Structure 1
Amino acid sequence: MYTLCIGLLLHMFSCGSSTEDKAREDFDISLLGKNSELQLSGEYEALIQLNMKYLKKASQMDYKEGKGLCYLNIAGVNVSAGNYEKALFFFNKAEKDLENSENTYHKATFYNDYSQYYSHLKLYDKAVAFNNKAFFYLKKAKNSNLKKKLFARLYINKGIYFAWKGWMGTSLKSFLKGNKLENSAYSNCMVGQYYLFTHQPHLAGPYISEADKKMFSQKTSDVESLWVYYTMGYYYNEVDNNDEAEKALKKALEINIKTRRTYSSHINGVYKSLAELYKKKNDGGKAYYYLKKYMEEENRLDGARLATMNKATESFISEMKRESDWHKNNLPLLVALSITVLTVSGIYVQKMIGTLNVKKKTLKEETEELKSHVYTKRLQEVTELAKKNDSSFLMKFKEIYPDFINALLKINPDLENSELAFCAMLKLHFSSKEIADYTFVQHRSVQQKKYRIRKRLNISGEDDIYDFFDSLDR
């Protein structure tokens, strides 16, 4: 009987332990999966709400490592917002909860995120060092789908770090290894990006094509699909296939419209690529339009991310304050979070203003260049219409110089279209001989028309008629 009781107790303990392990594993899989999905979609507010919910759940389960994962996810959001000081605070919180964890997958996840944090700071040596630590712990973790996916992403991240360090051979090996493990639209796309980055579009082509196929044969998130289409547009731009570049970039725009609620940080790059594409195609109007869209998106993206972070963090703090036990046990955390709300604007905005000033100066120069390009092209078209004596000349001229025509009609509302067209040719600085040749009349007739126009517009005989028209719409 004694032996039987001991056996039953051991069995009950074993079952309880097994049940607890299963609950914690389910917690990890659910949290990490949902967090990754929201992070990819750019839904930062929903991401913080998710981690707030799981942080309470981990507390109820007495699951210290689960809380660490939540802090780690919140650190990632702060990195995305450029709030690196507060990101470091949450990394430290996560490290305390995960440092004694026997789950090596947790530690691998922590060091992977930490490596990405240093990559954002452009400290690539540290990024590589923590990437190596992530590899060390992940190799010890038990086999699972989470482990397999993280292995692939560790190699891809390593490829990115080494590319920025200039170690291109090691970078390529890492990208290829990650792609071999994952073989997804994203992983193929990243290999293609490597070859585009190293100016080898002929080698990028097969991977871009494979990424395109994988989008349809595998389940690919909208954001990663947008990234693939953007890369395809980048590739086709490089090989001067303007039509295919336009198709791919327009596909990326369609996805952005579809996911309007979440938007992707990649869309600004799509707008810029379209501006460059249309500039190359000598379509100044569209080039200018997409450059403006790029500028608007850059400003919106910075502002929206900052506003969302502030709102979401405030919500996080409010929710924690309603939990009395949390308030007692996590006072330092509440203080830190309060400081986050008060300082995130100042820290981030100050940094953002400096970046935006440089960016706006560059974009202003590009915009002025495009404006000049558009004006020159349209002026050439109108000039050609005048030379051909085309009936649409006056209408097109009005589009470029609407104030000029209005100013003429203000002086004399009775001017006829033929007279307006004649004035337009003078505005374009055609000589009397050129006007005579283009309109198939005698040189003497043009001189007579000039005389009549002077009378109709009250232009003094002492005034140069060309100077008069030049100053009319200023």
Structure 2
Amino acid sequence: MIKQPKESNTSTTPKREQIRELLNQAFNMHRSDPQEGFRIAEQGKVLAEEYGGKGEQAEAYYTLSCCLDTLSDYDRALDYADKALILYREIGDKEGEGKVLNTKGISYQNNATLAEALVSFSAARDIYEELGNAIRLATAWNNIGGIHDSLGNYEPALEAYLKGLQIYEEEGEEEYGAMVQYNIGSIYYHLGREFSDYDKALDYFKRSEKTLERLESEYSLALSLNGVASVYIAREEYDAAREILSRVSEIFEKIGELRLQATILLEIGIIDEKQKKYSSALQRFQQAASTLQSLHVLHDYGTAQYHIGNLYFNQEKYGEAIEALNEGLRALEKTSVVKMEKEIRWVLALAHRELGNLEETVKQMVRHSELMTEQFSGERQDSIARMQVRFDVEHAEREREFFRLRAEYMEELARQRSKELSTTAMHVVAKNTLLQNLRNNLRSLIDQSEGKARLLSKRILTQVEESLRSNDDWQRFEEMYQLVHHDFVRELSEKYSELSGTELKICALMHINLSNKEIAELLCVSGRTVESHRYRIRKKLGLSSETNLAGYLAGL
């Protein structure tokens, strides 16, 4: 349960300053040291629930969510994000709401729950569009593009990326824009593999590279350069690819990204092997394997041992091949990756066959066949699951569009009905004013008339007074009022049962901002009578003289 703050409402109390400092420190650590960041955020949460307002509590839950997402604890991350979202909505903090929705989308995406991720990113996009926050709007478009990209829905992915890119360029955010260019290049690379046309991919990768080079953004630059190298490899321009990948390796080493450096060394080794530079290839593979083993990255280490073993096999060094491949298997046994084990089993079978080890050859081939079956079954299930996710994403998009259109329709309908209600009220006021003036004139005429004229005037006066006493106009007005404001009168009467019928009418009319004069004319009473009712209503509602009665009713 969220505790209410025990201190004053002053926004700069020492406790609140301490809360902000803790949460800022925790957020700044949520990627580099999420465990420590979570511990500090927990301290901030305890203080926020004890001394802070809803804003501090929401910020604490948001920070905890960010730390848990980095720790891959997605269920708890989403739980804290939901708590933060509720509080931000209660205090009307749209910026806070938007950033939490974005964080939820990232957690859903990391947990492969892509339909929910798309819904969250789309909701964040709508908020930032409403607020006019261009940078975060562009980020939301980029995130939406990433979801479609993951599903292979390249057309909507490209459309979203281009929208994000346009905004970044308009706002002068060059680094963000360059990374979107890299994302667009990746789409064209995937499409290019089908048609052997990589020109657009290379163009976007190089545009990204040029900007990031100028900005000296090394990590992002390395990613863009790797994209350029992938195009050269696809075109079999191996010397150009090796030169670029060597530079990428140097960048990753410089900034301490040793795992990524090792994977780049594997790529360079594969190029060396294709060009029959076996000594250089072996050196690259062994260097990568040593790094990955020290980092305990078992899947990548197993992959490096596969490349070493396969290289030995191609050089007819079957004993060394078997030794390296078995080392790779031992590493992969601790993972759940089927594909690389399948490749290793096949080369092992061939190596044992060359050495005349028929029993071991059969054993490896049988296991290879089993893995092929498992992989096919898994790919089939993945394909079905991916189709289901695509359906869920498309359904979520259509559902979101339906609710958006329905909300627009209901908003427009409410505006029209509110306008009609005001028009009806003014019509009744005008009619009653006319009848009251007519009644007063008839009374004067009766005093001054005799005979038939006097009788006729009395008859007309009776009809006018009956019309003024009639409840028909009020009933029509009340029916229309219910369409616009639904159960306002009923809920008010349930909450304040001591209010009389006339007082409820006056409350309803004040709720739509009618003046005392207009209320008096609508109800055919004097202004003094309305003032008296307002006084009694204020007492029954328990409002002080400082509280604006009309404002209070409008807020209900």
Letter matched to residue 287 of structure 2: E
1:255, distance to aligned residue in structure 2 (A): 5.3
Partners of 1:23 and 1:219 lie apart in 2 by 39
1:212 counterpart = 2:289: yes
Call closer, same or farther: CA 1:301–1:139 in 2, change over 3 Å: farther
1:116 counterpart = 2:189: yes
1:294, distance to aligned residue in structure 2 (A): 5.2
Q: Does the residue aligned with 2:168 lie in a helix, a strand or coil?
A: coil
Partners of 1:30 and 1:138 lie apart in 2 by 29
1:236, distance to aligned residue in structure 2 (A): 3.2
Call closer, same or farther: CA 1:156–1:107 in 2, change over 3 Å: closer
Partners of 2:374 and 2:210 lie apart in 1 by 40
Which residue is equivalent to 2:248? 178
Which residue is equivalent to 2:203? 129
Unpaired segments ≥5 residues, structure 1: 1-18, 80-85, 331-474
Partners of 1:25 and 1:176 lie apart in 2 by 38
1:277 counterpart = 2:351: yes
Larger RCO, structure (CA 8 Å, separation 6 or more): 1
Unpaired segments ≥5 residues, structure 2: 1-92, 130-135, 254-260, 408-556
Q: Equivalent pairs: percent with the same residue? A: 11
2:306 to 230, 239, 244: 230
Q: Is the 8 A contact 2:178 2:209 kept in 1?
A: no
Partners of 1:163 and 1:33 lie apart in 2 by 34
Name the stretch that deviates more: 313-322 or 121-130. Answer: 313-322
Q: Is the 8 A contact 1:108 1:136 kept in 2?
A: no
1:95 to 148, 162, 167: 162
Call closer, same or farther: CA 1:308–1:137 in 2, change over 3 Å: farther
Partners of 2:100 and 2:291 lie apart in 1 by 29
Partners of 1:179 and 1:28 lie apart in 2 by 32
1:154 counterpart = 2:224: yes
1:289 counterpart = 2:366: yes
Q: Is the 8 A contact 2:138 2:164 kept in 1?
A: yes
Aligned ranges 1:337-348 → 2 under 5 Å: none
Which residue is equivalent to 1:410? none
TM-score, structure 2 length as denominator?
0.44
Partners of 2:304 and 2:108 lie apart in 1 by 22
Q: Is the 8 A contact 2:105 2:120 kept in 1?
A: no
Partners of 1:49 and 1:225 lie apart in 2 by 34
Partners of 1:244 and 1:27 lie apart in 2 by 53
1:65, distance to aligned residue in structure 2 (A): 1.6
Letter matched to residue 169 of structure 1: D
1:194 counterpart = 2:271: yes
Partners of 1:112 and 1:140 lie apart in 2 by 19
Partners of 1:53 and 1:250 lie apart in 2 by 45
Q: Is the 8 A contact 2:262 2:289 kept in 1?
A: yes
Which residue is equivalent to 2:140? 67
Call closer, same or farther: CA 1:71–1:294 in 2, change over 3 Å: same
Call closer, same or farther: CA 1:26–1:231 in 2, change over 3 Å: farther
Partners of 1:285 and 1:217 lie apart in 2 by 34
| Cα deviation digits, residues 189-218 of structure 1 (max 9, x gap) | 111111112222211122112111221444
Q: Does the residue aligned with 1:199 lie in a helix, a strand or coil?
A: coil
Aligned ranges 1:298-377 → 2 under 5 Å: 298-320=375-397, 323=400, 327-328=404-405
Q: Does the residue aligned with 1:111 lie in a helix, a strand or coil?
A: helix
Partners of 1:107 and 1:304 lie apart in 2 by 31
2:236 to 158, 166, 184: 166
| Cα deviation digits, residues 127-179 of structure 1 (max 9, x gap) | 323322221343355x5xxx433322332332232133232221211121111
Call closer, same or farther: CA 1:47–1:21 in 2, change over 3 Å: same
Letter matched to residue 73 of structure 1: G
Q: Does the residue aligned with 2:243 lie in a helix, a strand or coil?
A: helix
Partners of 1:320 and 1:245 lie apart in 2 by 52
Instruction: Compute the RMSD of aligned alpha carbons.
Output: 4.1
Call closer, same or farther: CA 1:52–1:210 in 2, change over 3 Å: farther
Partners of 2:116 and 2:351 lie apart in 1 by 40
| Cα deviation digits, residues 388-436 of structure 1 (max 9, x gap) | xxxxxxxxxxxxxxxxxxxxxxxxxxxxxxxxxxxxxxxxxxxxxxxxx
Q: Is the 8 A contact 1:155 1:174 kept in 2?
A: yes
Q: Is the 8 A contact 1:74 1:87 kept in 2?
A: no
Partners of 1:116 and 1:22 lie apart in 2 by 36
Call closer, same or farther: CA 1:167–1:87 in 2, change over 3 Å: same
Partners of 1:57 and 1:25 lie apart in 2 by 7
Letter matched to residue 155 of structure 1: L
1:52, distance to aligned residue in structure 2 (A): 4.8
1:246, distance to aligned residue in structure 2 (A): 3.5
Call closer, same or farther: CA 1:27–1:238 in 2, change over 3 Å: farther
Call closer, same or farther: CA 1:215–1:198 in 2, change over 3 Å: same
Q: Is the 8 A contact 1:232 1:245 kept in 2?
A: yes
Q: Is the 8 A contact 2:288 2:304 kept in 1?
A: yes
| Cα deviation digits, residues 339-363 of structure 1 (max 9, x gap) | xxxxxxxxxxxxxxxxxxxxxxxxx
Q: Is the 8 A contact 1:67 1:94 kept in 2?
A: no
| Cα deviation digits, residues 266-286 of structure 1 (max 9, x gap) | 454334333433333333313
Q: State the aligned residue count.
A: 293
- Structure 1 runs of 4+ with >6 Å offset: 19-35
Q: Is the 8 A contact 2:345 2:365 kept in 1?
A: no
Q: Is the 8 A contact 1:159 1:171 kept in 2?
A: yes
Partners of 2:299 and 2:307 lie apart in 1 by 12
Partners of 1:272 and 1:308 lie apart in 2 by 29
Q: Is the 8 A contact 1:249 1:270 kept in 2?
A: yes
Name the stretch that deviates more: 46-55 or 269-278. Answer: 46-55
Kindly name which structure, 1 or 2, has the bigger radius of gyration based on alpha carbons. Answer: 2
